[in-house]
Amino acid sequence: MMLRGLWRRRWLSLALLVVAAVTVASASLGPLYAQAARTAVLRNALDGVPPDQRGWRVTSVHDDAADLARAVSAPYLRPPVLGAELLSPDPRGDRTYPLMWQDGQCGHVTLIKGRCPRSAMEIMVTRASGFRIGDGVKLTSIRTRVGTEDRLVPLRVVGVYRADPGDDFWFGRNLFTQTAGVSEGNGDPLLTVPETRALSGLPPGQRASDAASGSAWTGYAIVYTDPAALTGADLDGLEAVHARLAAMGRSGDVVTVFTRMADTLDAVRRQIGSLSVPVTLVTLQLVALGWLLLFLTVRDLAAARAPETALARLRGLGTARMWAFGLSEPVALLVAALPIGLAAGWAVAARMAAEFLRGDVPVTLDGPSLLYGPAAAAGGLLAAAAAARGAVTRPVVEQWRRTPRARRRTWIPEAVVIAVAAVGLVELLAGGPLSGSPGGGAGALLAPGLLAVAFALLARRLLPLACAALFRLTRSRGGIAPFLAVRQIARGGATGSTVIVLGAGLGLAVFAVAAWSVTSRNFDEVARVHNGAETVYVVRATDAAALRRMSDGIPDSAPVVRLPGPPAMLATDPARFAAVALWRPSYAGGHALEDLVPRLAAPVAPRVPLTGERIRVRVLGGELPAGWTAVLYASVRVPGQALLSEIPLARPRPGRATYEWGLPRACRTGGCELRGLRVETTPAGTVDYEHQPGDLLVTGLDVRHGDRWTPVDAGLGDRARWRPGVAGGPGLVLSMSLWGGPSAAVPATFPDPLPALANGTPGNRKLPGLDDAHGVGYAATVSAAAVPGLDAPGGLVDLELADRAAYGYSEKAEFQIWAAPGRAAPVLRGLRAAGVPVLATRTVDGLRTGFAGQGPGLALILLVVAAGAAALLALGRAVLALYVAARRRTLELAALEAAGARTGPLRRALLIEQAVTLTWASLAGVLAGVLAARVALPRMPEFTEPPSTPALVYTIIPGPVVLVGAAALVACLVAAAVTAELLLRGVRVDRLREAPA
């Protein structure tokens, strides 16, 4: 019987089924999508990082590293890669070679000659080692005992290999980037087989620290995570694995665990943390909207079943049975909607995951998603019960007599909702505990829901009043159509739920679209500024001159060295930078970058190069009072060093005017530079302070290259070439007195402060400098709202000047080649042609995609998709409600027709009524959405780490909002026209013969 009832009211039942299914789908979509997003975040984090940030290298001398690694076995960990290593010098002590084996090594090297080692004492070597096949290589740790004597056993070379240092297999070990004989005396690895180890095991009692001395093998196991097997739910387990391995590493020197997994896990935690709250809030709002729709639809269903319900009461069904009867159809539909909704939620989540996350993210119905769906259905049941209550409990006689009941106090819950919305709004604007709570401004996501409902409720109340005000006007003009329409709307009953549902749904949709468009614009702008150029290639660290040369040979490129901040520093060739950087004149008062970069230049003295083996200084005035000693130092910048070399040039003594000292070895081939002269004076304990030493006059500098001394052009007599200006006349004057003038001077080869294009006020802050060791003052010769390439407050300076100011290059300095828009491919070709390996490529698109893949961006996608669906549902429900309400009036329309009213005016009346209602609701929704966007957007998280530059912009982009509002309105009006037409075609005078049920 129930099924027959459902079939009889099939369209209403279908509407309820759809609404219930969408509610369940909305509830399960959030958790499903969040689960997939967590997985994507985790996999993205592990995919894009170096090996040590996604794995562990467990090293042990005493324990078996394999056992240690297996102790943390998990399905998402790859089987450990085992290996062992023995660092051992050659017998002459010239070089130290890592003798090692690693499981599967032959599959990860390219054999140039020979073969892989197969048996003990066989090795393969790199070409750079200079060994040839068949050579015997002796290491001090590979010995055998012959009688009472230890003898070295040669390792036999059986192959020559080449390895890819970027291969994860080697766990990012710096094994192959060095060339034997050049870097610190370390040779390339000699790859052997495990059996070789048996000849040189760790003697009993020897500890790990001995391994460094080359007397012990060190076993290791490399454990990698398997991103493809990881899901968001494994994060806790992964953290536990990391904690366990980290604990092993802290247990002493027996086990060493090398990893930077903690950084990865921290980043993942932050991202996931920024995802959870927004997803929950979005889901709750959508489910609440779904419940409202369920309530209204069940109310319609209950109204449609009212005669049967009355009949059931007449037959004496008790209260419980009446409830069972009244709720039987809604419950059946809710139960049917549960699997449908779950399936729909899963399908949408899977589609969204593939579209917005990544293709390999599984979406599975797990505990929370299976819980949320029934919870939403249970909430729907309560809504259904609330809606059916009137029909079930209303006395039969009232139902039959259609007597109006006393007006319910519906304004009370509405007032509560509006008050809550107002309080929430004030709280949001004032930055109270909600928005200031942990989880950032995610609480701002409540604003759209609250405001949409509040506006819808207000609009619902205002519409009948507005129409009532038109009564007098329509009485005298406009014909019967507006007369009927405004009176029908003023009755309120037919339009109330429509305005509420459509206003709230559209409000959410408009907010979602506004939020998405504004956030996308911010993503674009931040990506554009942070990346600086459309494409940035990261190249191997070198020096400024080499980087400039690299760029000079490639059109449409610019050399950039980037130091992280704050304050962050970019050093570049200004003219080339201006040609490739993504600049907007609005950043700096409408000026083109080409016009600004000349301000980064400054007059400077020439550098003072020191090329040779020794340096000589000529001084005057080296007489010192008794008890005083003085040393004249030269500060020399040496290639490959981050710190200055301080050379004690002279210890002035009476009667001696010339002193000399050796230069660092690297200065023999050039590149050294004199960066300062200073004299340090030291009094003995018993000196007479009344008689201070005088000045030391440095009159000349020479360097010896080969057998020849060459004068150094240091400009010692030129005041403009030294800072402070103690130069002049015969030479540089340095005070040896404790209370005298300056005792040190530097060549004025760079301006201090450096002229900079700054994105903030420098104040007293200093840029890190290329060496990230000696802060460099900077002055904003150009101030800009944003500077391409700077993701933190800081400045852009001339690379040449920055290089002059620095004493070396920090490891943090990133060397980049920027490509002009649309010129990425030619620049890359140019780099390849020049033999420059590209370590990484960064694009604006990639950065933007990265932002969109962060927690807040992912939550926003959910909001847009779900709010769009909710708006469509609300639209459908609104049109259905209008249709149902109008259908109840077909008798009235039939009576009017019978009384002589023509169909045309009746059609117009119905159309006007529906159009006014839908337009009013749409306007309320758009207004609520725009207001919510204005209030909530500046307080809503858009990035996991809010960027400090550029300033985010929250002005609403009118296009998408107008588009959504207009589309909704047009859809409404078309639907209204169609329903009005359908309805009027069903109005026949002979219906008047039918008694109302």
Tell me: does residue 316 bind another protein (CB under 8 A): yes
The distance of closest approach from Cβ of residue 388 to another protein in the complex, given in angstroms and rounded to an integer, is 17
The distance of closest approach from Cβ of residue 327 to another protein in the complex, given in angstroms and rounded to an integer, is 15
* Contact status, residue 747 vs residue 674, Cβ threshold 8 Å: yes
Residues of this chain, 956-995, that bind another protein according to CB under 8 A: 995
The 10-49 site mask, x for binding another protein (CB under 8 A), equals ----------------------------------------
The distance of closest approach from Cβ of residue 405 to another protein in the complex, given in angstroms and rounded to an integer, is 9
Residue closer to another protein by CB (options 322, 331) is 322
The distance of closest approach from Cβ of residue 311 to another protein in the complex, given in angstroms and rounded to an integer, is 7
The distance of closest approach from Cβ of residue 992 to another protein in the complex, given in angstroms and rounded to an integer, is 15
The distance of closest approach from Cβ of residue 386 to another protein in the complex, given in angstroms and rounded to an integer, is 21
Task: Name the one range near another protein by CB under 8 A: 400-408, 701-709, 716-724, 765-773.
Answer: 400-408
Residue closer to another protein by CB (options 7, 739) is 7
* Contact status, residue 723 vs residue 642, Cβ threshold 8 Å: no
Residue closer to another protein by CB (options 315, 472) is 315
Q: ∠ CA 837-841-843 to the nearest 5 degrees?
A: 155
The distance of closest approach from Cβ of residue 286 to another protein in the complex, given in angstroms and rounded to an integer, is 35
Residue closer to another protein by CB (options 75, 316) is 316
* Contact status, residue 759 vs residue 794, Cβ threshold 8 Å: yes
Residue with tokens 């429509």: 498
Residue closer to another protein by CB (options 319, 955) is 319
* Contact status, residue 742 vs residue 613, Cβ threshold 8 Å: no
Tell me: does residue 1 bind another protein (CB under 8 A): yes
Q: Which residues of 641-655 are buried (b: 16+ CB within 10 A; e: fewer)?
A: bbebbebebbebeee
Residue closer to another protein by CB (options 146, 997) is 997
The distance of closest approach from Cβ of residue 299 to another protein in the complex, given in angstroms and rounded to an integer, is 21
* Contact status, residue 574 vs residue 664, Cβ threshold 8 Å: no
Residues of this chain, 147-176, that bind another protein according to CB under 8 A: none
Distance set, CA 553 to CA 652, 799, 953 (Å)? 49, 17, 39
Residue closer to another protein by CB (options 322, 447) is 322
Q: Which of 146, 182, 198, 406 binds another protein (CB under 8 A)?
A: 406
Instruction: Name which of 380, 364, 513, 519 is nearest 866 in CA terms.
Output: 513
Q: Which of 106, 317, 332, 631 binds another protein (CB under 8 A)?
A: 317
Q: Which of 110, 148, 403, 669 binds another protein (CB under 8 A)?
A: 403
The distance of closest approach from Cβ of residue 394 to another protein in the complex, given in angstroms and rounded to an integer, is 12
Task: Name the one range near another protein by CB under 8 A: 1-9, 33-41, 210-218, 841-849.
Answer: 1-9
* Contact status, residue 701 vs residue 716, Cβ threshold 8 Å: yes
| Separation of alpha carbons 48 and 51, rounded Å | 9
Residue closer to another protein by CB (options 92, 402) is 402
The one-letter amino acid code at 207 reads R
Tell me: does residue 752 bind another protein (CB under 8 A): no
Tell me: does residue 433 bind another protein (CB under 8 A): no
Residue closer to another protein by CB (options 304, 714) is 304
516: phi then psi, degrees, rounded to nearest 5: -65, -45
In angstroms, what is the C-alpha Rg of the chain?
A: 40
* Cα four-point dihedral sign 744, 746, 751, 756: negative
The distance of closest approach from Cβ of residue 4 to another protein in the complex, given in angstroms and rounded to an integer, is 4
Q: Which residues of 394-418 are buried (b: 16+ CB within 10 A; e: fewer)?
A: beeeebeeeeeeeeeeeeeebeeeb
Q: Which of 118, 321, 351, 832 binds another protein (CB under 8 A)?
A: 321
The distance of closest approach from Cβ of residue 442 to another protein in the complex, given in angstroms and rounded to an integer, is 48
Q: Kindly state the tokens that stand for 338.
A: 């549960």
β-strand partners of 150: 145
How far from each other are the two terminal CA atoms of the chain, in whole angstroms?
Answer: 20
* Contact status, residue 271 vs residue 440, Cβ threshold 8 Å: no
The distance of closest approach from Cβ of residue 317 to another protein in the complex, given in angstroms and rounded to an integer, is 5
Distance set, CA 688 to CA 482, 627, 680, 684, 693 (Å)? 111, 8, 17, 9, 10
The distance of closest approach from Cβ of residue 888 to another protein in the complex, given in angstroms and rounded to an integer, is 18
Residues of this chain, 379-398, that bind another protein according to CB under 8 A: 395-397
Q: Which of 112, 229, 243, 314 binds another protein (CB under 8 A)?
A: 314
If binding means CB under 8 A, how many residues of this protein chain bind another protein? 26
The distance of closest approach from Cβ of residue 5 to another protein in the complex, given in angstroms and rounded to an integer, is 6
Tell me: does residue 404 bind another protein (CB under 8 A): yes
Residue closer to another protein by CB (options 315, 409) is 315
Task: Name the one range near another protein by CB under 8 A: 318-326, 337-345, 557-565, 870-878.
Answer: 318-326
A 10 A CB-CB count for 239 gives: 16
Question: Any idea what DSSP says for residue 225?
Answer: B
Residues 6+ apart with CB under 8 A from 451: 421, 425, 507, 928, 931, 932, 935
Rounded to 10 degrees, what is the CA torsion of 75, 76, 81, 85? -120
Residue closer to another protein by CB (options 8, 351) is 8
| Separation of alpha carbons 842 and 845, rounded Å | 8
Task: Name the one range near another protein by CB under 8 A: 101-109, 146-154, 315-323, 890-898.
Answer: 315-323
Q: For strand 122-126 and strand 155-163, is the pairing parallel, antiparallel, or unpaired?
A: parallel
Instruction: Name which of 795, 799, 779, 798 is nearest 787 in CA terms.
Output: 795
Residues 6+ apart with CB under 8 A from 702: 615, 616, 617, 618, 709, 710, 711, 712
Distance set, CA 193 to CA 61, 81, 636 (Å)? 18, 14, 47
Tell me: does residue 997 bind another protein (CB under 8 A): yes
Tell me: does residue 315 bind another protein (CB under 8 A): yes
Tell me: does residue 603 bind another protein (CB under 8 A): no
Q: How far is CA 570 from the centre of its chain?
A: 21
Residue closer to another protein by CB (options 397, 951) is 397
Residue closer to another protein by CB (options 395, 598) is 395
Tell me: does residue 250 bind another protein (CB under 8 A): no
Q: How far is CA 716 from the centre of its chain?
A: 53
Residue closer to another protein by CB (options 9, 678) is 9
The one-letter amino acid code at 435 reads S
Tell me: does residue 684 bind another protein (CB under 8 A): no
Q: Which of 73, 183, 209, 319 binds another protein (CB under 8 A)?
A: 319
The 615-654 site mask, x for binding another protein (CB under 8 A), equals ----------------------------------------
The 273-312 site mask, x for binding another protein (CB under 8 A), equals ----------------------------------xx--xx
Residues 6+ apart with CB under 8 A from 855: 37, 41, 270, 271, 272, 273, 274, 275, 276, 278, 941, 944
Tell me: does residue 409 bind another protein (CB under 8 A): no
Q: Kindly state the tokens that stand for 524.
A: 């674009």
The distance of closest approach from Cβ of residue 318 to another protein in the complex, given in angstroms and rounded to an integer, is 5
* Contact footprint for another protein (CB under 8 A): 1, 4-5, 7-8, 307-308, 311-319, 321, 395-397, 401, 403-404, 406, 995, 997
